[in-house]
Amino acid sequence: MNNTEIVSALTITEVESNPAGKDSGNEWIELYSEEQISLDNYFLENGDGGIFTLNGSINGYLVIIFSGLWLDNSNETVFLKRNNEIISIVPIFADAKNNDLTFRVCEEEWEMKDSTKGEENDCENLVELNDIPIEENIENEFAEEKIIDKQENNNSKLIKLVYSKEIKSEKIVLGKSSKVSNSEMTKSYKTRIGVIYFFIGICVLLVVLMALRKL
């Protein structure tokens, strides 16, 4: 096995810089190697330049637990080196929440996920640090649609109410106009009847006068 094969076989897969509870003595880094290799001449280096020397051998997953505070919770990065040659890099990250989420790699992408300490990273069921589950997102979308529908319905009811009031007001005005019109029509009718009776009276009076002259 040449050095290239050794380099490609070993990598950092997971980092826990802010575990639930006390940080000191509970911070850890997970390494993975596809093959059995010796860790002589390998070491870890954090963003502050701190060095942690590795020893023994690895075949599969190996969790390195630090006895004190070795990782920062923000603006942190980790290098895996062999004789000052960079073998693996953890990009700059922050772990501000005191929980069981860790910074781990899936398909060459580093993200904050549920811890899989000492095991293969679960890249199928990904849970983002500040993301809402898909089901909840769907529910929220439905909820937003319901809120919009409710607002639209309320607006529709308000428009109907205003429209109803306007119609009612118009009916009241029309009603008043109708009463005035009937009154006017009644007066006009009485006037016409009075005129007719007046002419009939005159005619009757003329007939009587004519009859008296003949006598």
pLDDT tens digits, 189-198: 778 888 888 8
Single pTM value for the model: 0.55
Cβ neighbors of 128 (< 8 A, separation 6 or more) are 111, 112, 113
pLDDT digits (tens, 9 = 90+) for 169-183: 444 444 444 444 555
Q: Does domain 3-131 have CATH number 1.10.150?
A: no
**pLDDT value at position 161?**
45
Q: Which amino acid is at 131?
A: D
Contacts of 133 (CB under 8 A, 6+ apart): 127
pLDDT tens figures, 21-52: 999 999 999 999 999 999 999 999 999 999 99
Range name among 29-43, 74-88, 141-155, 200-214 with the lowest pLDDT average: 141-155
Residue ranges of domains in the chain: 3-131
Q: In terms of pLDDT, which residue wins out, 146 or 41?
A: 41
Rounded Cα distance between 65 and 60, Å, is: 16
- State pLDDT tens for residues 71-122: 999 999 999 999 989 999 999 999 999 999 999 998 889 999 999 999 998 8
Hunting for tokens 């954090």 — which residue is that?
46
